[in-house]
Amino acid sequence: MSSHLPRLPPAYELVVLDHVDSVVEEAVRRARKGAGEGTLIWAREQTRACTAGGKQWYAPCGNLHCALIIEPEYDNLTAQQLLYIATISTGTAIADLISAMTGLRWRWPSEIFINDLKSGMVQFSAPGDNADPYPWLVLGVSVNVAQHPPNPEPERFNSIHASGTPEASVEALLEGFSRHFLAWINRWADEGFEPVRRAWTLRADGIGEPVTLRARGDKLSGKLLRINHRGEAELELDDGITREVSVAEYFSLGEGERVNE
């Protein structure tokens, strides 16, 4: 890791930590204590980072671990569209660093793949007290920059360095994410969700394919049809019924569990 601090737009208040259990949990704790919109927690290492399904996430020094606090001015379902903005912004920041010939894709809701191997994720957290609009929400970003977990056979994981860009830095990735997120959130405010939905779909894998997941305790199996105009995933279940699953249902503040991880 280089020694300079990331240069972020003035909309952000950067909080730098050497170690933290989880950047998402740290941001939630600070949001509950009144930390304002734009607070961006950046840790060099996480010790207890987890996926949405509760599995441990590999989070050593040299990778990106950050979480952003937002105070949404929209109803909860609309505010959940911010997860797609964060995923696009993370992916675009990665694309700025890697070779143009390197494959970059994502899967619903927010798993990021480089050359078909898992390399990052975006997480969503908000209060579970049914307040609408949310008084705050947290978007967490984790990307394998310098390291990835030891690979099984067949391979499952990748990093930016291992994909052929060993000079890429965490700082450059965080700077790129912050710029792209600000640009996309402003476009979303002006034009609505449709440009976001189109951009997300362009790099989305898994549309039209089988998926199995849990949402608020329900195990759902079927085919992922599309992301609708509200930002919900539309599933054609095995029994033929169409079911919409929101971002909040998927993450569900500890209740949701992804099966296919």
* Co-location of 18 and 136 in the same domain: yes
Considering the domain architecture, whether residues 229 and 182 belong to the same structural domain is answered as no
Q: Is residue 219 part of a domain?
A: yes
Q: Which of 185, 202, 219 is the last residue of a domain?
A: 202
Confidence class of residue 61 from pLDDT cuts 50, 70 and 90? very high
Across residues 171-183, what is the average pLDDT?
Answer: 98
Say how far apart CA 31 and CA 68 lie, in whole Å: 10
For residue 259, name the pLDDT band (cuts at 50, 70, 90): very low
Strand 204-205 vs strand 137-143: parallel, antiparallel, or unpaired? unpaired
In the predicted model, what is the mean pLDDT of residues 38-47?
A: 97
The verdict on residue 140 lying in a domain is yes
C-alpha–C-alpha distance, residues 235 and 227, integer Å = 9
Query: Which residue shows structure tokens 């360095």?
Result: 161
Residue 108 has pLDDT above 80, yes or no: yes
Q: Is residue 112 in some structural domain?
A: yes
Q: Is the pLDDT of residue 59 over 90?
A: yes
Tens-place pLDDT, residues 87-97: 999 999 999 99
Q: What are residue 245's phi and psi, to 5 degrees?
A: -125, 120
Q: Are residues 212 and 181 in the same domain?
A: no
In a domain, 233, yes or no: yes
Domain total in the chain? 2
Structural domain including 184 reads 13-202
What is the pLDDT, as a whole number, of residue 53?
Answer: 79
Single pTM value for the model: 0.94
Give every strand in the sheet of 210-215, ordered side by side.
Answer: 210-215, 218-227, 233-237, 242-245
Average pLDDT over residues 28-47: 97
User: Average pLDDT for residues 118-142, to the nearest whole number?
Assistant: 94
User: Does residue 113 share a domain with residue 56?
Assistant: yes
* Whether residue 71 is found in the same domain as residue 155: yes
Using DSSP's 3-state secondary structure scheme, residue 22 falls into coil
Verify that 154 and 214 share a domain, yes or no. no
Do 210 and 118 reside in the same domain of the chain?
no
Q: Give the mean model confidence (pLDDT) for residues 113-133.
A: 93
Domain membership of residue 2 (yes or no) is: no
Residue 3 in domain = no
For residue 7, tell me if it sits in a domain. Answer: no
pLDDT at 70 over 80: yes
The domain boundary residue, chosen from 163, 187, 202: 202
Q: What percent of the chain has pLDDT over 70?
A: 95
Query: Are residues 127 and 68 both part of a single domain?
Result: yes
**CATH number of the domain where residue 39 is located:** 3.30.930.10
Q: What's the pLDDT tens digit per position in 196-240?
A: 999 999 999 999 999 998 787 788 999 999 999 999 999 999 999
Q: Taking the CB of residue 37, how many other CB atoms lie within 10 A of it?
A: 16
Q: How far apart are CA 146 and CA 162, in angstroms?
A: 7
Mean pLDDT check: name the lowest of 72-86, 160-174, 212-226.
212-226
- pLDDT for 258: 33
